[in-house]
Amino acid sequence: MLADIGELVRTESPSEDLAAVTDCARVVAGLGTRLTGSAPAWLDGSGRPALRWRFGSGDRVLLLGHFDTVWPLGSLAGHPFEVAGGRLTGPGCFDMKAGVAQLFHALSVLDDLDGVSVLLTGDEEIGAPTSRTLIEAEARRTRAVLVLEASEGGALKTARKGVSSYEMTLTGRAAHAGLEPHRGVNTTTELAHQVLALSALADPATGTTVTPTVASSGTTRNTVPDAARLLVDVRVETAAEQDRVDRAVQGLVPVLPDASLTFSGGPNRPPLPTSASAELFDLARSRYAELGFGPLRGVAVGGGSDGNLTAGAGTPTLDGLGAVGGGAHADDEHVVVAELPRRAALVASLVATLVREPLAGPGRVRA
């Protein structure tokens, strides 16, 4: 497993580099073919590959993951793949190339894969713009989804917040800041009003966060700015809150006379509620204990994954079954080596159970 993870990590695959993502897809396809005995179907979305395996009906359990990373080409120079002191390091090892390797090693020990599907995509880190429809379609035809995303500290992801993203564009009127500022329409001032209005949409009581992030306005010190741009990140626990915030954002109007604003974006990933994971998490805890590994924790997190999409499609979903470690997207990204076979064993046990005793399937999940 370590050798396979090393090959994946050394094949750098930043999401925006289609050639690099395609090269990594070839390595993933070879790994999956070697360990399962079956080659994948190559699914192309705007030049971006996704890989799908279906064994028999392929409709009882879907294993979901991605092979793109946030790390740019050349990151290996400063963050080489290494195994030392019980830790595995390298760009993308934790999120989530170790999980991809674990997935196939888990399947390799099972005699019966009838009913299993695997879907691995190359655009998760940028919001699944080309694979979303594919992910939702695969989820709707299966009865349960296991997501091999990374696990901080070993806890499974029993709930994830939904994600919305917005870009606000503001237009005003330029003027000389010293001679006749009154003739201008100042987009920096308008931007300040909108930042406060957006921040007020947050609701700590329901776990809703509305965070203005990247902002820009103006060109020179002595010119009233006539254009501004603002990016906004929204996280919510329920679909109702996602709808509320979206309506409120779209309803914002300028404060300054003659200023104008437009929005792009909106809800990107629906919430993954605890109702989506409850039955699968109970099963995982039972299997983990039977394997002799002790208690298994669950946690609700603010970050999104493609598991949000499968839960949104109505299919029971359990996330965080991949590598145990930490430092996702950061210099200290790492995987705890001792946990690799334990997590692979858990995934194998879950798949074997779900093939033999499938869940009722899609349509049962409600945010």
95 is annotated as an active-site residue: no
* Bridge partners of residue 168, in order along the sequence: 230, 263
List the catalytic residue out of 4, 12, 123, 124.
124
End-to-end alpha carbon distance in the chain: 37
**Structure tokens given for 201:** 């949409």
How far, in Å, CA of 151 to CA of 305, rounded?
12
Q: 136-159 as b/e, with b when 16 or more CB fall inside 10 Å?
A: bebbebbbbbbbbbbbbebebbbb
List the catalytic residue out of 68, 138, 190, 339.
68
Q: How far is CA 210 from CA 3, 94, 127, 165, in A?
A: 42, 28, 18, 10
* Bridge partners of residue 211, in order along the sequence: 233
279 is annotated as an active-site residue: no
**Coil, strand or helix at 335:** strand
Please give the single-letter amino acid code of residue 189.
T
Q: Are the CB atoms for 81 and 94 separated by under 8 Å?
A: no
DSSP labels, 88-139: EESTTIIIIIHHHHHHHHHHHT-S--TTEEEEEES-GGGT-TTTHHHHHHHH
Q: Are the CB atoms for 260 and 173 separated by under 8 Å?
A: no
Q: How far is CA 166 from CA 66, 196, 198, in A?
A: 24, 15, 11
Where are the extended beta strands (E) located within the chain?
41-45, 48-54, 61-66, 82-84, 87-89, 116-121, 145-147, 151-152, 156-160, 162-171, 175-176, 209-217, 223-224, 227-236, 260-269, 298-301, 317-318, 324-326, 334-336
Look up residue 338 and give its DSSP letter.
Answer: T
Our measurement of the distance from residue 360's CA atom to the centroid of its chain's CA atoms, rounded to an integer in Å, reads: 25
Cis peptide before 168 (omega within 30 of 0): no
By C-alpha distance, which of 228, 141, 151 is closest to 184? 228
Q: Any idea which residues carry the catalytic annotation? A: 68, 124
